[in-house]
Chains A and B, each alone.
Chain A
């Protein structure tokens, strides 16, 4: 995005009282973008492992991390939990089913995960049952982990 377009977008957002969200690319942005980006309250959405702009630290500044695989997310889970970042996990439907147990563990860890099915337009009615089943499994996993956490908190 040209910097002038960015400035105009920010101005529009300010006048309409919108929350500005920056979706950063995987490549580094030129340095002069930093002050423009920071001229307004914002939410930063980064691809995993990216440090896109000199002058903007991602230490404590990243609001949302976008990962393209479960393994990518698992690798940085300690930081994600520590920094209380929200995450977006982008998967094909078939990948989601294949890795449902690993995903359940991520949910149980307490991380804020938004699961985004990237091939949703291919979704067919026949897949509904599988989808229902995986949601039920995750539901159980999350309930169990929440109950455990509650009982741990009440005894400690």
Chain B
């Protein structure tokens, strides 16, 4: 049967509460595009903080913000697996408490990780994976070819590229998570390597490549046209190589590049404020991007702590965020608005005042370039199917329209 592989949705997308532990602010790497400007080796989460946080969440099972059907417990850093013993202890505690309390999240939870993959093979990590296999989402970040990966993802002291140490763990990871997706980040210097990198990741057996441009204002004049050219090359390679049947690249989506109705299509892009993060000091954040180590120019935005809980007045602005309340008029009227993302933390960091209601438009030209290449991709792919008499079959079996996630 003719098929075009869809981009994967996150587990229980829209139905799970995201709760994030910033277990460490340390990482083996010092990636050049990393938005975490305040990484350090000192801020490691103590067990007592983690336990108190879990107790706080589970004690409030009946509060509206914790009444979601499911929960995704995210562990981030830095590099989360540097704290695998702590994570293992936290996860054991969560499971035990969910059972003991007969909590509605019991058996409807995930432990989620985005790792640099360097110590993925180590015994402690592997033991943890074996123990929690059915409840895990793990993504390893590998940026593409060795050249592209090592352009940015370098060790913090030696500045040596990390590709070789990551790629050796990919077969093990794919064996354990055959549908695992990787996350690729593109900044200005990476543009020439996009096509070869995505194809390289496919050749490693990774079927889902989630890729995005950085939100920061790093773009130089002409980058949008180079980006468009790369994406069109990639489109040609995917279509001519037939990769579209079994592999997906998130740059290409049928549902982007359309005008958006100011009333009907007025959701916030991300879940800032609906998710909850905690750091080593026990402070709570609407998203990890509001922790101090993520912010270049603004002060941290704390919405509470593990002892006193969430201060709803501090959370309130996030709950009123939507597309129109924070976008400039040009974005509201944009004819290719759908699929144009923003990062709430980045918006806050670059805003002229202490506000989250000021959308950064640094990626505007890059989004428009993506839309042009995306249009090219779908027009070309559909024509191919048409000429092969496969289009009707594909349309008949197509997944129900689901706009790019908000």
Contact between chains at B383 and A16 (CB < 8 Å): no
Closest to A15 in B: B372
Contact between chains at A15 and B382 (CB < 8 Å): no
Contact between chains at B373 and A39 (CB < 8 Å): no
Cβ of B380: which chain A residues have Cβ within 8 Å of it? 14, 40
> Smallest Cβ distance from A22 to chain B, in angstroms?
14
Cβ of A11: which chain B residues have Cβ within 8 Å of it? 376
> Smallest Cβ distance from A9 to chain B, in angstroms?
13
Closest to B375 in A: A17
Q: For the complex, give the distance between the alpha carbons of A40 and B377 in Å.
A: 11
Contact between chains at A14 and B386 (CB < 8 Å): no
> Smallest Cβ distance from B393 to chain A, in angstroms?
17
Q: For the complex, give the distance between the alpha carbons of A39 and B386 in Å.
A: 10
Contact between chains at B386 and A41 (CB < 8 Å): yes
Q: For the complex, give the distance between the alpha carbons of A30 and B386 in Å.
A: 24
Cβ of B383: which chain A residues have Cβ within 8 Å of it? 39-41
Contact between chains at A17 and B387 (CB < 8 Å): no
Query: Which residues in window 21-48 of A have CB below 8 A to B?
Result: 38-41
Closest to A42 in B: B383
* B side interface size, CB within 8 A: 12
> Smallest Cβ distance from B176 to chain A, in angstroms?
40
Contact between chains at B257 and A17 (CB < 8 Å): yes
* A side interface size, CB within 8 A: 9
Contact between chains at B379 and A40 (CB < 8 Å): yes
Contact between chains at A16 and B387 (CB < 8 Å): no
Q: How many A-B residue pairs have CB under 8 A?
A: 24
Cβ of B372: which chain A residues have Cβ within 8 Å of it? 15-16
> Smallest Cβ distance from A108 to chain B, in angstroms?
34
Cβ of A39: which chain B residues have Cβ within 8 Å of it? 383
Contact indicator per residue, chain B 358-375, by CB within 8 Å of chain A (1) or not (0): 000000000000001101
Query: Which residues in window 365-406 of B have CB below 8 A to A?
Result: 372-373, 375-376, 379-380, 382-383, 386-387
Contact between chains at A15 and B376 (CB < 8 Å): yes
Q: For the complex, give the distance between the alpha carbons of A39 and B379 in Å.
A: 10
Among B228, B376, B387, which residue has its beta carbon within 8 angstroms of that of A14? B376
Q: For the complex, give the distance between the alpha carbons of A33 and B193 in Å.
A: 34
Q: For the complex, give the distance between the alpha carbons of A127 and B319 in Å.
A: 62
Q: For the complex, give the distance between the alpha carbons of A17 and B379 in Å.
A: 7
Q: For the complex, give the distance between the alpha carbons of A40 and B382 in Å.
A: 9
Closest to A16 in B: B375
Q: For the complex, give the distance between the alpha carbons of A114 and B386 in Å.
A: 28
Contact indicator per residue, chain A 1-23, by CB within 8 Å of chain B (1) or not (0): 00000000001001111000000
Q: For the complex, give the distance between the alpha carbons of A135 and B372 in Å.
A: 43
Task: Give me 16 other A-B pairs in contact (C-beta within 8 A), A15-B228, A40-B383, A41-B379 excluded.
Answer: A11-B376, A14-B375, A14-B379, A14-B380, A15-B372, A15-B375, A15-B376, A16-B372, A17-B257, A17-B375, A17-B379, A38-B387, A39-B383, A40-B379, A41-B382, A41-B383
A-B contact pairs, 19 of them (CB 8 A): A14-B375, A14-B376, A14-B379, A14-B380, A15-B228, A15-B372, A15-B373, A15-B375, A15-B376, A16-B372, A16-B375, A17-B257, A17-B379, A38-B387, A39-B383, A40-B379, A40-B380, A40-B383, A41-B382
